């Protein structure tokens, strides 16, 4: 029987590194289910990961595709706080919320939560993020446990839901601002020509209609993140 996307997702390492060519592990699992991706596109899982997928899908095991990277030791990142400018770009890039900090203040990596995806490296404008090997010579699934994968998956799901909530709240703020302007367009505009005001009113009403249509899609309540850890003092 053809494995379901959820079954395929369950045997992936959940690093969310995108090296497979998909935006996240769930995207890769969906592509595997559809047959548009091969079983050898996940470097963090290594050859053991290929074997897991081979057993589940019934496909023949094969070497990792070098186009997606090579199997390697598990890594985490750390921030040189002396150089950090507090831009928050790495915080936004981290798929598991393993980086904490605020705007214009130094950031810190909570290393037990870091999956080694390295998505924070290219967005740092001052190159203050370093990579450190933490598994010695162990690679792939020998360097990354199922328990760590399960926690990373939970943290990514929390991160995704939180991002959806923030996007919804921002859309609601913009909608309220537009509605206020529409309620008394003449007072909020430098134009006095009724024809111009009517055109602006039509544009705003159309924008509001689009915003309300998007907000009609329900967003789940954001849960408490697993094993939430306070920032070290």
| pLDDT tens, residue by residue, 129-165 | 999 999 999 999 999 999 999 999 999 999 999 888 8
Q: pTM for the full model?
A: 0.76
* 75-79 and 99-100 strand pairing: unpaired
Q: Is 60 exceeded by the pLDDT of residue 125?
A: yes
What DSSP designation does 108 have? Answer: E
Instruction: Measure Cα distances from 188 to 120, 121, 191, 202 in Å.
Output: 41, 44, 9, 15
What's the rounded Cα separation, in Å, for the pair 189 and 172? 22
Are 79 and 114 in contact by the 8 Å Cβ rule? The answer is no
Are 178 and 212 in contact by the 8 Å Cβ rule? The answer is no
Q: Find residue 100's DSSP bridge partners.
A: 108
pLDDT of residue 105: 86
Smallest Cα–Cα separation from 47: which of 62, 59, 32? 62
| pLDDT tens, residue by residue, 171-219 | 777 777 777 766 666 666 666 667 766 776 777 777 777 767 766 654 4
Smallest Cα–Cα separation from 65: which of 41, 48, 29? 41
CB atoms within 10 A of CB 204: 16
| pLDDT tens, residue by residue, 15-39 | 999 999 999 999 999 999 999 999 9
Smallest Cα–Cα separation from 144: which of 36, 38, 11? 11
């Amino acid at each position: 029987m053809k494995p379901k996307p959820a079954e395929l997702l369950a045997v992936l390492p959940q690093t969310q590194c995108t090296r497979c060519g998909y935006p996240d592990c769930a995207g890769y699992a969906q592509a595997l289910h559809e047959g548009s991706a091969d079983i050898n596109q996940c470097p963090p899982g290594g050859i053991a990961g290929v074997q897991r997928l081979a057993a589940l899908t019934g496909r023949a095991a094969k070497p990792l595709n070098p186009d997606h990277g090579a199997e390697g030791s598990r890594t985490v990142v750390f921030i040189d706080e002396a150089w950090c400018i507090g831009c928050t770009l790495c915080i936004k890039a981290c798929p598991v919320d393993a980086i904490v900090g605020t705007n214009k203040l130094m950031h810190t990596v909570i290393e037990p939560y870091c999956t080694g995806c390295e998505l924070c490296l290219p967005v740092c404008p001052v190159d203050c993020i370093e990579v450190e090997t933490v598994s010695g010579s162990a690679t792939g699934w020998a360097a990354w446990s199922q328990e760590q994968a399960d926690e990373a998956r939970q943290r990514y799901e929390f991160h995704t839901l939180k991002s959806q909530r923030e996007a919804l709240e921002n859309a609601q703020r913009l909608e309220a601002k537009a509605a206020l302007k529409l309620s008394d367009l003449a007072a909020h505009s430098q134009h006095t020509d009724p024809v111009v005001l009517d055109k602006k009113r039509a544009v705003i009403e159309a924008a509001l209609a689009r915003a309300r249509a998007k907000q009609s899609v329900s967003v789940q309540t954001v849960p408490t993140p697993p094993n939430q850890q306070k920032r070290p003092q």
